[in-house]
């Protein structure tokens, strides 16, 4: 199958390309000119140079493909540079859906996010609105909502390696965040981390699975771990025993609201809000797609030693 992949140079996109090739599909990948060097196995892909705003490029892609995987996403926006959640999670989805309908490409798979909702952060809301556009289309759609995704970033951005770099290697105790006045439950919010390989396999295996059409799947790992346990697992993976300390999230979030427009500030207020919500789900997705999930442990985090 010839598959139009949007978001092929990012963290998850790299793994989707590998799984597409492994399943004998043909990836047709949209690549921004400045990101051409980030595309893995480019010699095995049909590459279209351009931006998601360029309808003519998208039309060319869809004229030569049978299905769409829309995997474009931001974890942080920079409005002054025109890099926004609305442009990529909503307007880009809307444009691609319209052009897919016009081209007669029926199969459409969307990367959303666990926790997507109307009354959420801007990230969560734009993800939710993108879902609604697809659900109201004429396409044969499937939506995936992953939790916290981990795995070797291969030169891209990934949660665990970013957490190590921005927080855990600093010569201060790691913060166990809590809200309110008292720290009794500091660091107790939970996650179901899911390996990027498992996410990519689900995306690719749904291409020819008719029973997945018209469904939304949450994808989370089988382990439920707290923030405190997550820090311990990450630091043990690269041979450290990190001290922790309760930390009120309020002053950090206040500072983030002032500084998160600057790329050098490591976290945004919305990211802290979503972190404190936790990120868990209950799903039979691995059984559905015949995937044996990779555990979140020191062995699967060995890329943090680099």
Same domain, 145 and 166: no
Same domain, 79 and 104: yes
Residue 29 near residue 5, CB atoms below 8 Å:
yes
Residues 6+ positions from 276 with CB-CB distance below 8 Å = 177, 179, 189, 249
In a domain, 134, yes or no: yes
Same domain, 187 and 197: no
In a domain, 253, yes or no: yes
Same domain, 146 and 255: no
**What is the per-residue pLDDT across 105-147, written as a single tens digit (0 to 9) for each?**
999 999 999 999 999 999 999 999 999 999 999 999 999 999 9
Same domain, 108 and 174: no
In a domain, 285, yes or no: no
In a domain, 284, yes or no: no
Query: In which band, very low, low, confident or very high, does the pLDDT at 152 lie, cut at 50, 70 and 90?
Result: very high
Same domain, 40 and 127: yes
Among residues 167, 202, 219, which one ends one of the domains? Answer: 219
Residue 133 backbone phi and psi in degrees, to 5: -60, -45
Question: What's the mean pLDDT in 290-304?
Answer: 96
In a domain, 97, yes or no: yes
Same domain, 176 and 60: no
Whether residue 173 has pLDDT greater than 90: yes
Same domain, 46 and 87: yes
Same domain, 133 and 201: yes
pTM above 0.85, yes or no: yes
62 vs 108: CA distance, rounded Å = 11
Number of domains in the chain: 2
**What is the per-residue pLDDT across 214-254, written as a single tens digit (0 to 9) for each?**
999 999 999 999 999 999 999 999 999 899 999 999 999 99
Residue range(s) defining the domain that contains residue 9: 2-150+193-219
Residue 267 token pair: 């976290």
Pairing of strands 225-226, 190-191: antiparallel
CATH, residue 107: 3.40.50.720
Q: What are the start-end ranges of the E strands in the chain? A: 2-6, 26-31, 46-49, 67-70, 107-111, 140-146, 149-150, 174-178, 190-191, 194-195, 215-219, 225-226, 244-248
């Amino acid at each position: 199958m010839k598959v139009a992949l949007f978001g092929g140079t990012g963290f998850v996109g790299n793994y989707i390309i590998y799984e597409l090739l492994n399943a004998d599909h043909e990836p047709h990948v949209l690549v921004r000119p400045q990101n051409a060097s980030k595309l893995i196995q480019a010699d095995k892909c049909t590459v279209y140079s351009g931006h998601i705003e360029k309808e003519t490029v998208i039309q060319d892609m869809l004229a030569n493909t049978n299905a769409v995987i829309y995997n474009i996403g931001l974890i942080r926006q920079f409005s002054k540079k025109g890099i926004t959640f609305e442009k990529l999670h909503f307007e880009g989805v809307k444009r691609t859906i319209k052009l897919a309908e016009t081209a007669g490409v029926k199969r459409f798979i969307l990367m959303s996010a666990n926790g997507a909702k109307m009354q959420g952060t801007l990230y969560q809301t734009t993800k939710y609105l993108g879902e609604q556009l697809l659900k109201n289309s004429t396409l044969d759609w499937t939506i995936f909502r992953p939790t916290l995704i981990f795995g070797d970033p291969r030169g891209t951005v990934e949660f665990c390696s970013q957490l190590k770099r921005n927080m855990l290697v600093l010569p201060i105790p790691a913060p166990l965040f809590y809200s309110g006045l008292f720290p009794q439950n500091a660091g107790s919010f939970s996650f179901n981390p899911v390996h990027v390989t498992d996410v990519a396999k689900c995306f690719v295996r749904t291409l020819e699975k008719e029973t997945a059409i018209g469904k939304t799947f949450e994808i989370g790992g089988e382990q439920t771990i707290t923030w405190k346990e997550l820090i311990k697992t990450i630091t043990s993976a690269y041979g450290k025993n990190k001290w922790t300390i309760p930390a009120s999230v309020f002053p950090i979030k206040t500072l983030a609201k002032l500084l998160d427009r600057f790329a050098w500030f490591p976290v945004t207020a919305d990211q802290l809000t979503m972190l404190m919500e936790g990120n868990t789900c209950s799903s039979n997705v691995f059984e559905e797609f015949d995937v044996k999930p990779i555990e979140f442990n020191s062995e699967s985090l060995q890329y943090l030693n680099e």
